[in-house]
């Protein structure tokens, strides 16, 4: 099992804006090693925006995001896996080629790709182009990069979309193992993921409690 150094994700007074529209403001978080945080709240409340801001895709309007105890040479994004609504797999490449690319590009071990495929129940499909997979299988292949390359911070946006019960349990197992190794998981979700001991943050309530003054 992979163990990560003791890290903390510290978010200080973060605000994010899309164009002129302020999505959330004054958000502070402190998530320690081995902790999972689930983000909940109605559509459009800013769950995806928060995850993309943490990953560094969207520059923070105010405030800061830092991973203390992490690699000072790398940005937070480079130490994170971001699984968005899109799976990030190439339809014309086979399952194994997709996994090998994740490992080679993100800094994992390409030799382990076959083991990863087996673990995700895609072992029998290793030579099948990703275009021929079902929606749930594609999602699993996208999630596979979480274990293709070890990174301490996992940012998951609706990770369980189109997964069946067995695959959700598989994802739960991956998350539990990651947390046991000292990783951090932040997941946005509408449906309960059934993960043990996860804190939860309702972005909708936060917005109500502190109405954004224009």
126 near another protein, rule: CB under 8 A: no
Q: Which is nearer to another protein, 44 or 88 (CB)?
A: 88
Residue with tokens 């019960």: 165
Maximum Cα interatomic distance, the chain, rounded to a whole number of Å: 55
Residue 91 or 192 having the CB closest to another protein: 91
Closest contact distance (angstroms) between CB of 83 and another protein is 9
Please select the residue that binds another protein; options are 3, 42, 68, 105, rule is CB under 8 A. 105
Nearer to another protein, 47 or 198 (CB): 47
Instruction: Answer positive or negative: Cα dihedral of 186, 192, 194, 198.
Output: positive
DSSP bridge partners of 11: 29, 65
Size of the site for another protein (CB under 8 A): 31
Q: Cα–Cα distance between 164 and 138 in angstroms, integer?
A: 12
| Min separation Cβ 77 and another protein, Å | 5
Pick 69 or 101: Cβ nearer another protein: 101
Burial status of residue 102 (CB atoms within 10 A of its CB: 0-12, 13-18, 19 or more): buried
Query: Nearer Cβ to another protein, position 32 or 101?
Result: 101
Question: Measured between alpha carbons, how far is 156 from 151 in angstroms, rounded to an integer?
Answer: 13
CB 54 within 8 A of CB 80: yes
Q: Which of 104, 136, 170, 204 binds another protein (CB under 8 A)?
A: 104
Q: Which two tokens stand for residue 165?
A: 């019960």
Rounded to a whole number of angstroms, the minimum distance from the CB of residue 107 to another protein is 6
Cα–Cα distance measured from residue 1 to residue 128, given in angstroms and rounded to the nearest whole number: 29
Interacting positions 39-98 with another protein (CB under 8 A):
52, 55-59, 74, 77-78, 80-82, 84-93, 97
Residues between 152 and 191 that touch another protein (CB under 8 A): none
Overall residue count recorded for the chain in this entry? 214
Alpha carbon 29 to its chain centroid, in Å, reads: 16
Burial class (CB in 10 A: 0-12, 13-18, 19+), 110: middle
The distance of closest approach from Cβ of residue 114 to another protein in the complex, given in angstroms and rounded to an integer, is 17
CB of 82 to another protein, least distance (A): 6
Cβ proximity to another protein, 46 vs 198, nearer residue: 46
Contact footprint for another protein (CB under 8 A): 52, 55-59, 74, 77-78, 80-82, 84-93, 97, 101-102, 104-107, 142, 145
């Amino acid at each position: 099992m992979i163990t990560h150094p003791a890290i903390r994700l510290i978010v200080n007074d973060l605000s994010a804006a899309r164009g002129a529209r302020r999505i959330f403001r004054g958000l502070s978080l402190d998530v320690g090693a081995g902790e999972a945080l689930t983000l909940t709240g109605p559509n459009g409340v800013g769950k995806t925006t928060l995850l993309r801001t943490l990953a560094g895709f969207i520059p923070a309007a105010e405030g800061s995001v830092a991973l203390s105890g992490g690699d000072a040479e790398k940005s937070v994004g480079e130490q994170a896996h971001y699984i968005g609504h899109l799976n990030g797999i190439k339809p014309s490449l086979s399952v194994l080629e997709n996994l090998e690319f994740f490992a080679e590009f993100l800094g994992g071990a390409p030799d382990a790709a076959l083991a990863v495929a087996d673990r995700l129940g895609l072992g029998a499909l290793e030579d099948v182009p990703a275009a021929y997979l079902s929606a749930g299988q594609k999602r699993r292949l996208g999630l596979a990069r979480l274990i293709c390359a070890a990174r301490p911070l996992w940012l998951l946006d609706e990770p369980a979309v189109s997964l069946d019960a067995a695959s959700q349990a598989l994802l739960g197992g991956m998350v539990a193992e990651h947390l046991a190794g000292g990783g951090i998981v932040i997941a946005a979700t509408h449906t309960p993921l059934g993960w043990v001991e996860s804190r939860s943050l309702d972005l909708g309530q936060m917005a109500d409690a502190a109405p954004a003054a224009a």
